[in-house]
Amino acid sequence: MRPTPGATPAPSPANWAGNIVFRAARLHTPATVDALRATVAAGDRVRVLGSGHSFNALADTTGDLVSVAGLPAAVDIDAGARTAEVTGGLRFAGFTGSLHRAGLALHNLGSLPHISLAGACATGTHGSGADNGSIATAVRALELVTADGSLLTLERGDEGFDGAVVSLGSLGVVTRATLDLVPSFDVRQWVYEGLPGAALRERFDEVLTAAYSVSLFTRWRADAIEQVWLKQRVGDPVPGTEGTTGDAPGTWLGARLADGPRHPVPGMDPAHCTVQGGEAGPWHERLPHFRAQFTPSNGDELQSEYFVAREDGPAAYEALRAVADRIAPVLQVGEIRTVAATGLWLDPAHGRDSVAFHFTWVQDLDAVTPALAAIEEALEPFAVRPHWGKVFLMGGERLRELYPRFDDFRALAARLDPDGVFRNELTCEFFGWELGA
């Protein structure tokens, strides 16, 4: 390993949850793209650290850990073209307000506005909505530093672009992304409680498509959904109102309208959550579940998420109900959402409209592992795909079967990173690579 000027010994940084302590020999926070290029070119083992919200060792390395958080932040908006070029290290809370003030919006946002743009796209992080693709589908161009320190720009339609957006940090360090935008819009959010299990089973797709963005929260302890979060675009018909755009009814499919703000995890302070009760607000202050000015929790958790085809959602839900006794004892809360199909090679929603089953666990991997095994066995008949940035058990052979463009991605990585500079132990496990080969 050749030393890089300005490099500092890594202070053993950890991820947000604290379950992963990175083993990097050096931590770099370059202040310019040229300094970043020099760091990458000098290293023989490099990984990129985003905002640290992955729950596995995806960003880990024994070599050089690089953060782009120190690069100059920039948000260059082209209102006429409805695009914005954004530096990769920016967190969503750091630039979505600027988009809104320009009269523009992203089509989708994840639960947390605290995560970085580049990290969210690299792992296929999504949000919710039957017609809403993952955040990565907004990307129309990427600028990245490749293994030899070169700058490469890929645009939608270029060879390899669909493999580069969701790439797990395996192709280079993303410095900028150009995003497709839509006209800004306002959202009203309501929470319903106690959706009967029978209503969900009978009207599964109707429930999950009832609003622009829908999230179902359950602890898998009873035959009911504890909370249904409906995020409705202002002007769109409100569920249960016979096509009107007025206030939400007091009951809907047997669920009751909450009488005040709610947090998805029972006992947690709802002040951390975005405004509910039907009060209209801009998209970036309603589509996330949590407010940017609050840390949503202390990170004392693990997370997993599994994707199945939307048409398999009801059967997958029943399969999980059958192993609920393995899930509930180690679960803080679960969430069920929809994601539209994408063409991005490693997106968990690649090629199929999907239902995503999310699990927020207690932070005890030994206790959670049997639950993961039960979930993966129950969902195996549905060609289930895991979220790349969360904890799961399935290995590379199974992953290869699940992604039609898996070998195309391996070939792209071989072309852009022939010496395996951006590999680590986990990506080698996923893709059957040799570390350092």
- Cα 73 from chain centre: 22
Cα–Cα separations (whole angstroms), residue 326 to 46, 65, 330, 376, 380 = 38, 37, 8, 12, 16
Identify the sign of the CA torsion 256, 353, 287, 232: negative
pLDDT of 1 reads: 30
Instruction: Give CA–CA dist 89/322, Å, rounded.
Output: 42
The token pair that represents 173 in the structure block: 């360090």
**pLDDT tens, position by position, for the chain (437 residues)?**
333 334 555 446 889 888 999 999 999 999 999 999 999 999 999 999 999 999 999 999 999 999 999 999 999 999 999 999 999 999 999 999 999 999 999 999 999 999 999 999 999 999 999 999 999 999 999 999 999 999 999 999 999 999 999 999 999 999 999 999 999 999 999 999 999 999 999 999 999 999 999 999 999 999 999 999 999 999 998 887 777 677 899 999 999 999 999 999 988 999 999 999 999 999 999 999 999 988 776 678 999 999 999 999 999 999 999 999 999 999 999 999 999 999 999 999 999 999 999 999 999 999 999 999 999 999 999 999 999 999 999 999 999 999 999 999 999 999 999 999 999 999 999 999 998 65
- What is 8-67's CATH number, 3.40.190.10, 3.30.43.10, 3.40.1790.10, 3.40.50.300? 3.30.43.10
Q: Where are the domains of the chain?
A: 8-67, 75-184, 185-297
| Bridging pattern class, strands 213-218 and 182-183 | unpaired
pLDDT of 2 reads: 30
| Bridging pattern class, strands 83-87 and 173-180 | antiparallel
pLDDT of 297 reads: 64
Contact assessment for residue 87 and residue 71, using Cβ atoms and an 8 Å cutoff? yes
Instruction: Give CA–CA dist 125/139, Å, rounded.
Output: 13
Instruction: Give CA–CA dist 231/226, Å, rounded.
Output: 17
pLDDT of 293 reads: 86
Strands (E) in 258-376, as ranges, are 281-282, 302-309, 331-339, 354-361
Q: Which fold has domain 75-184?
A: 3.30.465
Instruction: Give CA–CA dist 186/172, Å, rounded.
Output: 36
**CA-based nearest residue to 362, from 297, 301, 305:** 301
Contact assessment for residue 111 and residue 319, using Cβ atoms and an 8 Å cutoff? no
3-state DSSP call for residue 317? helix
Separation of first and last alpha carbons in the chain: 15
- Output the pTM of the full model: 0.95
**AA identity, residue 379:** L
Residues 6+ apart with CB under 8 A from 7: 26, 27, 28, 39, 64
**AA identity, residue 220:** W
The token pair that represents 190 in the structure block: 């309501």
Burial category of 429 from C-beta neighbours within 10 Å (exposed 0-12, middle 13-18, buried 19 and up) = middle
Contact assessment for residue 29 and residue 35, using Cβ atoms and an 8 Å cutoff? no
The class level of CATH for 185-297 reads: alpha beta
**CA-based nearest residue to 167, from 350, 351, 356, 14:** 350
Q: Which long-range contacts (CB under 8 A, 24 or more apart) does 395-404 make?
A: 395/429, 395/430, 396/429, 396/430, 396/431, 396/432, 399/430, 400/432, 403/345, 403/346, 403/350, 404/350, 404/351
**AA identity, residue 131:** D
3-state DSSP call for residue 385? strand
Element (H, E) at 143: strand 139-145
Please report which residue ranges of 102-169 form alpha helices under DSSP H: 117-123, 161-164
Q: Centre a 10 Å sphere on the Cβ of residue 63 and count the other Cβ atoms it contains.
A: 19
